[in-house]
A and B are shown apart, each in its own frame.
Chain A
Amino acid sequence: MARTGFAALHPGQAMPKAGLPLLPMPEFQRAIAAGVGRGLRVSALFGHCPAPGAPVELFAVLNDSARAILRGARSVLAADDFPSLTRECPQVHLFEREIAEQYGVTPRGHPWLKPVRFHASYRDLAPGSPAGADADAPAQALLPALEGQAAPGAGTHGAGPLIGVTDFYRVEGEEVHEVAVGPVHAGVIEPGHFRFQCHGEEVLHLEISLGYQHRGVERMLIGGPDKRGIPAIETLAGDTTIGHATAYCQALEALGEGRVPGRAEVLRGVALELERLANHTGDLGALAGDVGFLPTSSYCGRLRGDFLNLSALLCGSRFGRGLVRPGGVAFDVDDARRDQLLTRLAATYRDVQSAVNLLWESASVQARFEGTGRVQPEVALSLGLVGPAARACGIDYDVRSQFPSGIFRFAQVPISTWTTGDVFARAYVRWLEIQRSVLFIQEQMKALPEGPVRTAVGAARPDHVVVTLVEGWRGEICHVAVTDDSGRLARYKVVDPSFHNWMGLALALRNQQISDFPLCNKSFNLSYCGHDL
């Protein structure tokens, strides 16, 4: 259905920017709304300002997973405001807030227009200049912003607003009370602010306010590709090093017409699955820990480390840093190392099986997991949830299956779904994926193709656009790279799965017990820095 006026896009294939239809704003928005109405999902919707003060260009990438194709288009904002699409199409709500904040434009009629990351607008910054005044501005300069900074996105040029200072949604009433948690938490976790509107122990509404981890990664990448690119991407969300690095490298390879050798494709796929194994195992252990179930909690903590050590076996870094590089991977494996990896994987997997099966066999754990934090499938669809959180609601979407790239084109990983949408489902989908990932690694490592592991990648082609999709362990990672007329990156957009899913957590908490929040939170286990960029 190309009637939408959007062009077909293939992930991992660069196309000239001119090939992306430039639609007038009303048509652009109508097409997005129509696409979402037909069941498409918004993978990315972002602004781009080619020169200081220039009109803002909008890019949209719609995901037609049923047809395994992406659809893209762009538009130019004639004025500093545009009618908001959020009421019609809730999944663009955070994208519109992001555009409003980054480019100082106003989506008119947006029902929830608040800062996303609390930084100053990029609008007047020269392309490639550092991450924005917010990072360098002294605290004093920010202080006056305290008063009346609630009007969000309203062209906050200059010093950015104070993080976390905004209007929070409030429920008023005799017996209603508000609980504020964070940004500093009791555990060693990332900072984020949570406001609960409670009636007794029942949560009526949860509002999540992030931005504390904003480092300006997207701005840092402008002017690249350069040496800073890979380290910035690898630390964008520390637990998704391989996922983001793969998406980034695929983008550079597409732009520079590089070819990745088969052996490197396999190693990338194996590293991606090892990352999934480590995080899923850690999550199951943490879920057990949150309900005070000691055995699984303590064993999974160790086993996560064992999986991380397998990543270290591949590249020397437990988090897979330094492995994925444009054109392939930086480290080869010899036969001895491969055999060691397979032996250790089998041993670790055996332990994971016994530790995790305790969870499903223990009635006291099941009583906590089942029915807690339920997300209805229609809510998941309308919010555009991704990853295990979406698959736990029965949504059949996995980038490895619908948009396979690299080795996943040849070795399909079945989609693991469950239907109940509760904490149990999110935990169980993780367990199903652990099993599939182990099988995948075993098959692939046994049939490792011969050949080099890295080839040279040419310079990026000028005025091109590429979208890459990778199924990170949290879900769909979407990177969009746009080059300028000299082949430098003019805009690099990163959409971490957490960006789609935070709202899902907020809605999962509705009418739940506030004491179940940590459990729900852990079942999503979203990234703060991946969201804050």
Chain B
Amino acid sequence: MLLNILHTVLHVTVALTLPPLLLGVIGKVKALFAGRVGPRLLQPYYDLFKLARKGSVISQTTTWVFHLGPVMGLVTPLLALLFVPLVDSHAPVSFNGDLILMVYLLGLGRFCTASAALDTGSSFEGMGAARELTFACLAEPALFLGLLVLVKLTGSMELATMLGSSLAGHWPTAGASLVLVLLSWFIVLLLENSRIPFDDPNTHLELTMIHEVMVLDHSGPAFGMILYGASIKLFLFAALLVRLVMPVSTGSLALDWAVLVGGVLIVAVAIGVVESTVARLRMTHVPLLIVAACLLSGFGLVLLLR
């Protein structure tokens, strides 16, 4: 009981504090590739702090829907993260079938962000919302097919078990499937978090943006919430990957957490490397790569079912 409370406290603390660091790591890796010093690792925290103290400019054409976007953009990934086991087989909340809730909490966040974008009536934001939703629809099967592989392997519909320490035993027998899921989910991670090659988080070109263009009208604390929420979502996907690859339970709580944090940072470095070496896809080619992600997960499932 006491251990459970400790787990939950640690889980929530890490979920709240660690995510912006991932953005800092990505920034640092990209700077190294570009031959620059780059902003310091903790810069995203300073940015969030700065935004929190700023005022907001709110368009008069907007309604409450516009305000709901940033709030849901922050709350939904946080809630979704409660179902993901960060260490051992423990998640603060878990029940049979929670994987569906987790995925659709993210979907709800996206729905609210897109609604807020449409609420401004701006042609850019409408364009961005259309792009984001189109690509997200295509990415959903990839995520679910991967989850199905885990369901099939572990025989559970609870994320805490599916990504828990029992998964480690399946690597020797079903490694091929799991590698395929890993690749597929990394593509989904890049897409869901609007990273290169799908989207360029650093671009100022509103016509080419996907995610960024939807939040152009938000400013100050609301924009801070969006950035914070985005980093939590990135952390969530990174944690999924880490748990998929290293569902280990060493017996030592400290070591378990070290594995998770280290793993998540490695994912951030990998994202930084991808962003430093690959150009963005042409918008018309984005669906092709997402479909490839679906196929990878699908093949993973086929391998198990044969």
Residues of A at the B interface (CB closer than 8 Å) are: 177-181, 186-187, 201, 288, 290-295, 297-299, 302, 362, 364-365, 367-368, 372, 513-519
Contacts and interface: CB of A to CB of B under 8 A. Distances in A.
28 contacts: A180-B123, A181-B206, A186-B206, A187-B204, A187-B205, A201-B127, A290-B205, A290-B208, A291-B279, A292-B196, A292-B202, A292-B275, A292-B279, A294-B33, A294-B34, A294-B276, A295-B276, A298-B34, A298-B36, A364-B279, A365-B279, A367-B282, A368-B280, A368-B282, A514-B207, A515-B208, A516-B208, A516-B282
A201 to B, nearest CB: 6
B278 to A, nearest CB: 5
Interface hub of B200, B205, B278 (most chain A Cβ within 10 A): B205
A70 to B, nearest CB: 40
B114 to A, nearest CB: 16
Contacts, number: 89
B12 to A, nearest CB: 35
B280 A294 contact: no
Nearest to B205: A518
A363 to B, nearest CB: 9
A78 B204 CA distance: 51
A362 B126 CA distance: 32
A6 to B, nearest CB: 44
A74 B13 CA distance: 80
Contacts of B285: 367
A2 B283 CA distance: 52
Nearest to A522: B205
Main SS class of interface, A: helix
A186 B196 contact: no
Given A299-B35, A362-B279, A364-B279, A179 B207 contact: yes
Contact of A186 (B126, B204, B278, B279): B204
List the 8 shortest-distance A-B pairs measured between CB atoms, nearest first. A298-B34, A292-B280, A293-B279, A186-B204, A292-B200, A364-B279, A291-B279, A518-B205
Main SS class of interface, B: loop
Contact of A518 (B35, B124, B208): B208
Interface residues of B, number: 31
B61 interface: no
Interface in B59-90: none
Nearest to A180: B123
Nearest to A365: B279
Contact of A514 (B36, B127, B200): B127
Given A292-B275, A295-B34, A364-B197, A372 B282 contact: yes
Interface string B182-214: 000000000000001100101111111000000
A513 B284 contact: yes
Nearest to B124: A179
A368 B207 contact: no
B32 to A, nearest CB: 11
B30 interface: yes
Nearest to B195: A292
A455 to B, nearest CB: 46
Given A364-B197, A516-B282, A294 B123 contact: no
Contacts of A288: 279
A295 B33 contact: yes
Nearest to A177: B123
Contacts of B276: 294-295
B253 interface: no
Nearest to A188: B204
Contact of B283 (A298, A362, A513): A513
